[in-house]
Chains A and B, each alone.
Chain A
Amino acid sequence: QKEVEQNSGPLSVPEGAIASLNCTYSDRGSQSFFWYRQYSGKSPELIMFIYSNGDKEDGRFTAQLNKASQYVSLLIRDSQPSDSATYLCAVIQGAQKLVFGQGTRLTINP
């Protein structure tokens, strides 16, 4: 079992719709969870981070965490073509060590 799992996609969503990205993790002791966006050929950029169960909203983005189910998700409302990218879920393990999922490739269709 991989430490952090994501559906690799591709996930195709029409412009203006909600994109839903999911991630599960294996280490029940994990406390810190991150979503990064990566455009082709670029390094990751932080979108959201969440530490507590429930929802965290920032603009069009909402991160959801359920530690009992070991599940974290990212919702993107009013999807734009510029949101087309690979989204990486990451979890901190041990001393600041980031473990990444394989990433979900998202395409927003105009």
Chain B
Amino acid sequence: GAVVSQHPSWVICKSGTSVKIECRSLDFQATTMFWYRQFPKQSLMLMATSNEGSKATYEQGVEKDKFLINHASLTLSTLTVTSAHPEDSSFYICSAPTGASNQPQHFGDGTRLSIL
């Protein structure tokens, strides 16, 4: 079945560092991918929609200059957390739809980001 690969699975870094997270669709093309953030004991919150070949669409309250999204190909979207601070520590998860707009999305395994 369709697989979404996310890398890295775990990152620990110092405050002020920029961190890049990759999301790949392994056996299908994804013109759209989604990035979510999940804080402990909370649900997934959509951060942005990544669009291949165009600018990402950010949800209200998400800083586009802090969370840079690039969707350079039909199989790869990247999320870069710039100048990360401890409050950015969270579980970041990407997803991609594999078919029509109402079809289920497939999720990557997530990236646990810890900023010291």
Are A103 and B43 in contact, CB atoms less than 8 angstroms apart?
yes
Are A100 and B44 in contact, CB atoms less than 8 angstroms apart?
yes
Which of B32, B49, B97, B108 contacts A43 (CB under 8 A)?
A: B108
Bound together, the chains give a CA A42 to CA B109 distance in angstroms of 7
Are B43 and A43 in contact, CB atoms less than 8 angstroms apart?
no
Q: Mark A91-102, 1 if CB is under 8 A from B, else 0.
A: 010011111111
Within 8 Å of chain A (Cβ to Cβ): is B105? yes
Query: How many A residues face the partner with a CB closer than 8 A?
Result: 22
| Residues of chain A at the chain B interface (Cβ within 8 Å) | 31-32, 34, 41-46, 49, 51, 88, 92, 95-103
The B interface, classified by DSSP as helix, strand, loop or mixed, is strand
Identify the 4 closest CB pairs spanning chains A and B, nearest first.
A32-B102, A43-B110, A43-B107, A100-B43
Are A96 and B101 in contact, CB atoms less than 8 angstroms apart?
yes
Q: Mark B73-106, 1 if CB is under 8 A from A, else 0.
A: 0000000000000000001010101000110111
Are B43 and A51 in contact, CB atoms less than 8 angstroms apart?
no
Within 8 Å of chain A (Cβ to Cβ): is B46? yes
Question: Which residues on B sit within 8 Å (CB–CB) of A101?
Answer: 43
Are A96 and B32 in contact, CB atoms less than 8 angstroms apart?
yes
Are B46 and A97 in contact, CB atoms less than 8 angstroms apart?
yes
Within 8 Å of chain A (Cβ to Cβ): is B54? no
Question: Which residues on A sit within 8 Å (CB–CB) of B91?
Answer: 41
Report the nearest A residue to B111, measured CB to CB: A43
